[in-house]
């Protein structure tokens, strides 16, 4: 079954602890993204990666880290430096290859999300 | 700063009415536009995308794009209570880069 799998669905973090959120995809998409969503708010970009072994900071990267060692996986670590980690975390993928003309009108596709709370 | 703006709502419409959701964007380089529906506690799901000026219809949904006015809209005909959700507007450039999401409009369809 093709798709994006985020795990766990719910995660609790103790003070001073690092936690890692998993995102795995079998859509063969090159680009992957991490967003944070606070209650009643829009999506804020944390990190993104367009190819393996390369990633860029988004608007709110402080307190987070990522890796992209293989195309299918883009884990997000919420470090102890992130003082307010409680939020809904969404992983998205995007098919970056052009369509004949080189244009790309592909949307981003989202996983089901991970809800992180502080204990 | 590339921005996509939406009224946060809530937009309330009676069941069976047409719901009109609007979105404006600041970057003239934006070429593709996407509407996502997000139910409370769930992840966004794609409803429609549009990249040519004019209207695009899919069932009860119609997306409208006016690049000269930098304006995108989503019309939902015969609104149902199950359409109650937050609708996110997003844009990207011609090469699928520079994705920008709006803050979303909360729609409430009243039975």
Distance CA A75, CA A95 (A): 19
Smallest CA–CA distance from B43 into chain A, residue = A112
Residue B71, burial from CB neighbour count under 10 angstroms (0-12, 13-18, 19+): middle
Per-residue pLDDT tens digits for A84-99: 999 999 999 998 765 5
Give the pLDDT band of residue B1 (cuts 50, 70, 90). confident
- Work out the average pLDDT over B49-53: 93
HEC per residue, A22-41: EEEECCCCCEEEEEEECCCC
Per-residue pLDDT tens digits for B55-105: 999 999 999 999 999 999 999 999 999 999 999 999 998 777 788 999 999
Do B102 and B88 contact (CB within 8 A), yes or no? yes
**Which of B12, B5, B90 has its CA nearest to residue B44?**
B90
Query: Which one of B6, B86, B87, B96 would you mutate to disrupt binding with A, by most A Cβ within 10 Å of its Cβ?
Result: B96
- Work out the average pLDDT over B8-18: 95
Phi, psi at residue B81, to the nearest 5°? Answer: -55, -30
Q: Which candidate from A35, A43, A98 shows the least CB-CB separation from B95?
A: A98
**Which of A62, A68, A81 has its CA nearest to residue A19?**
A81
Distance CA B29, CA A97 (A): 19
Span of A8-12, A66-70, A104-108, B9-13 with lowest mean pLDDT: A104-108
Structure confidence at residue B105 (pLDDT): 96
Chain B residues in contact with A96 by the CB 8 A cut-off are 96
Number of other residues whose CB lies within 10 A of the CB of residue A23: 24
Structure confidence at residue A15 (pLDDT): 85
Chain B residues in contact with A105 by the CB 8 A cut-off are 31-32, 49, 51, 92, 96
Whether residue A1 is predicted with pLDDT greater than 60 in this model: the reply is no
Cβ–Cβ gap A108/B31 under 8 Å: no
Whether residue B39 is predicted with pLDDT greater than 60 in this model: the reply is yes
**Which of A96, A95, A65 has its CA nearest to residue A4?**
A95
Whether residue B23 is predicted with pLDDT greater than 80 in this model: the reply is yes
């Amino acid at each position: 079954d093709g798709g994006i799998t985020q795990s766990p669905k719910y995660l609790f973090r103790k003070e001073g602890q690092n936690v890692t959120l998993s995102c795995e995809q079998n859509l063969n998409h090159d680009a992957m993204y991490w967003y944070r969503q606070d209650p009643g708010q829009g999506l804020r970009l944390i990190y993104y990666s367009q190819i393996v072994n390369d990633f860029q900071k988004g608007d709110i990267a402080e307190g987070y880290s990522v890796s992209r060692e293989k195309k299918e996986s883009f884990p997000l670590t919420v470090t102890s430096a992130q003082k307010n980690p409680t939020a809904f975390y969404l992983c998205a993928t995007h098919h970056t290859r052009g369509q004949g003309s080189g244009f790309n009108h592909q949307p981003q596709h989202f996983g089901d999300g991970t809800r992180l709370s502080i204990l | 700063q590339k921005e996509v703006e939406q009224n946060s709502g809530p937009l309330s419409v009676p069941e069976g009415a047409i719901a009109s959701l609007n979105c404006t964007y600041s970057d003239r380089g934006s070429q593709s536009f996407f509407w996502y529906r997000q139910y409370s506690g769930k992840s966004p799901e794609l409803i429609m995308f549009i990249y040519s000026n004019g209207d695009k219809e899919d069932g009860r949904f119609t997306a409208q794009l006016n690049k000269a006015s930098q304006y995108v809209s989503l019309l939902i005909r015969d609104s149902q209570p199950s359409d109650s959700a937050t609708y996110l507007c997003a844009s990207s450039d011609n090469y699928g880069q520079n994705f920008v999401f709006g803050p979303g409009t909360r729609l409430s369809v009243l039975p």
